[in-house]
Structure 1
Amino acid sequence: MSHRNAPLTPTGRLRLARCVVDDGWPLRRAAERFQVSHTTAARWASRYRRHGEAGMQDRSSRPHRQPRRTPAQVEAHVLRLRREHRIGPLRLAARCGIAASTAHRILMRHGLPVLTILDRATGEPVRRYERSRPGELVHIDVKKLGRIPDGGGHRTQGRAEGRRNRTGTGYAYLHTALDDHSRLAYTEDLPDETAATCAGFLARATAWFAAHGITIERVLTDNAWAYTKNTWRDTCHDLAISPRWTRPWRPQTNGKVERFHRTLLDEWAYIRPYTSDAERQAAFPDWLDWYNYHRPHTGISGHTPASRVTNLSGQHT
């Protein structure tokens, strides 16, 4: 691609060269006509004589010889370590005795993706998928979160006092149902994660999604005890929902709701020091409203979850 300030495009170079080679124009006249230097006009005319129209295209700036390029055996060693141990440029550099920037260039030269988009178990690029319509698949999971004692925890009182205050505070169990297509989320703070609690949450989540124009067809959960009991299966059957489970030891399968919980922790639970659990819970409805209706979601090209549900975005301001 030509530089944005280049006076000649490949088409302009061809016209200049044809004026000189085919029409017999003097170089200085052609240079003046196309407002370039005499040497530039001579270069394009020479390339046209040798290569024809193909010579008018941009060439790579890579040198023909690279005497200081990393030896092939070192590159092979870097690539082998990356495949076997799935480590990044810093650790590769330490093992191979080269600079981290050199290790990075070797990985880029061979088209190896960054570690963040690889499956840690297999080393293969993560295959991303998305259901074609809202309700086709809803991810469900529970996030266990320590409650904040009255007066604040260690973030406001310090480690020692926060540890004393925390005695007997227990945990919040945040149950979340997240639509695969739209990323619309419904979350409840419940006292436990028993089968009866999970089944009750599913019934309420189904009603909430139905009120937003979404009919749940399938739910995907991990293999936690509560989701394998007849209580869960019977509830799914009564609601005409097909239950699905992730492969054991593969939390990536339910990654969308896992990622939502990380966002929830970063942007609500730990965004500022709270002085009580009630204060933190009071801030949650506004945050969830922000997430569903106003927050750009990078996983869906910067759109909001509500914008992907038919007519839903117009119901809320």
Structure 2
Amino acid sequence: MSKARVIVLSVVHQGLTKAEAARKFDVSWQWVHTLVTRYETGGLDALEPHSRRPHTSSTGTPEHVRTRIIALRQQLTTDGLDAGPVTIAWHLEQEHLPVPSTSTIRRILDAAGLITPQPKKRPKSSYRRFEADQPNETWQSDFTHWRLADGTDIEILNWLDDHSRLLLSCTAHHRVTGTDVITTFTTTTEAHGLPASTLTDNGLVYTARFRGSRNGFEYLLAALGIQQKNGHPYHPQTQGKIERFHQTLKRWLTNQTPAATIPELQTQLDRFRIIYNQHRPHRALGRLTPALAYAATIKAQPTPNSLSTHYRVRFDTVDRFGKLTLRRAGKLHHLGIGHEHAGNPVLILVDHTSATVTHLDTGEILSTHHIEPDKKYWRNQTKKPGRWPGSS
């Protein structure tokens, strides 16, 4: 029996006065009076020690913030986006609401029954992480599969900046070809500049080195002074960032209305690219969005080579007359390549003074042309002068 109960019983049942009980148990008269009053109000249970914790906390999470945390969790999950505590904290900050710690957000979600226990994962400390120090230092590329509403298999080709995770390009194709890789790459360089290096797997659309040769993409990178890096076969962890990105992309697509056509799917991918780059904080970036991380640091550049930094890249097919057309400064010019090259896919590199045409598959130089703005026809400088092709 507690000392408080003994004191009260000595007064109530043994007849001691409050002063006598205070002297006997070596406590103050005021304390005896408090105990007797508690007993008269709530019985013996009222004599147990009371918690000194305040009924409300001035530092607790406000109810409207708790409600918003739960709403954000549900909304982001429905949208197929990351809905973890870090992301929720970022959205609270954007809405100018008080931002609890991520552990507090997790407790709120857990109390609401919105967290499903996950199996233990390999500790992050066991991974060797590789990350570029600057934007454009390394671009990762890969493609993944998706299906249209009728079950048609589509391939989605992506380019991702290694440093900032900026989604540089995201395009849908019936089947990704080497030409698609080159076209999306050069289109992306026009918007973001040249990368210092690329990192891909060993697929034939990226490299032909295991066949003892080069493909068009490899020739293009070599011409621009860009280092090409390829992962080890059967080791997808080398391209871990873009592999994880594919999971994020597919999780979002799963929550969209299935696209019936490639243009419809491309519209969805364009919308996702904006969301991913500008409205989705990345945990590995300290809650920055990829767009902010990409803009925050000076860009890396490829190693300088003989090719002028002021260049144009074009892909075309030599016509049946052995010619190409090239628009420069608003004027259309004709390039004579040669009848023997009719139908060949080519890469055209144009700088201030010349245009060089190479075979897209072999890298063979087919022709070189001096830039002559006043002339409509630029002849092949690797051949002796002759008649205008097709003239009599």
Taking structure 1 as the reference length, the TM-score comes to: 0.50
Q: Which has the larger Rg?
A: 2
Q: Which has the higher helix share?
A: 1
Taking structure 2 as the reference length, the TM-score comes to: 0.41
Q: Which has the higher strand share?
A: 2
